[in-house]
A = this chain, B = another copy of it.
């Protein structure tokens, strides 16, 4: 469903845009160009935004909800490359891939997205040196994240991987309790972490034993980040909070 963009939404879009590393340090007129081209959309669960190898018309910034990025293997299995939520963006990499999406994107929890034309981004990166440098920084950030991911898949056990996934959703500067709202479908998180659903359930129970977290449906309550980071981050070369998030 396409929504009209009210001026207050335009404001929200602008403030989300400003926080994107892509536009950091760029002139206000470039930011305004992007804010004006920005369209708000609301989507229901299971809507496929695009598939791998689709021509890329838009890239997206998430205002609310959960999205999964995925690919399909030749023997028909799906890999969940990432699950994204509020404030994160996706699809922009297509400007470096002949305007083609290298993964599919699907709504997993009712979402409001801001979409922006790939053509505008491409033109701006090609013409504006500052934006090209910002895009480089954004890519470096993504790269760090992926390096982190490879390390996690190689070295952490299943419980630590769940702990890591949760920690990375927390504000590291919160004192006291943190409550996270996960997607209702836990098998999505299992797939995202490269686990079978049964492994995920067992590992989550183990994590609850080793730390002090509690889980109520899709809600996770973390009384203190110290207990969970102590358990999780020992098997990783990053200290908490992860450098690739900031």
Interface 9-mer from A107-115, A144-152, A175-183: A144-152
Per-residue contact bits, chain A 63-89, to B (CB 8 Å; 1 contact, 0 not): 000000001111101010100000000
Q: Which of B75, B93, B150, B155 interacts with A143 by CB under 8 Å? A: B93
How far is it, in angstroms, between the C-alpha of A71 and the C-alpha of B236 when the chains are bound?
Answer: 9
- The answer to whether B150 touches A73, judged by C-beta atoms less than 8 angstroms apart, is no
The contact string, 1 if C-beta is below 8 Å from chain B, for chain A 144-166, is: 10110111011100000000000
Number of interface residues of A (CB under 8 A): 42
Find chain B residues with CB under 8 A from A142 CB.
143
Q: How many whole Å from A7's CB to the nearest CB in chain B?
A: 34
Contact B73 A235 (CB under 8 A): yes
Interface flags for A131-147 (1: CB within 8 Å of B; 0: not) read 01101110110111011
CB neighbours of A220 from chain B (8 A): none
B125 lies within 8 A of A77 (CB): no
* A73, A194, A234, A235, most chain B CB atoms within 10 A: A73
Pairs A–B under 8 Å by Cβ, sample size 13? A73-B236, A74-B239, A75-B235, A77-B155, A81-B147, A93-B140, A96-B137, A96-B139, A96-B140, A139-B143, A143-B143, A146-B147, A149-B150
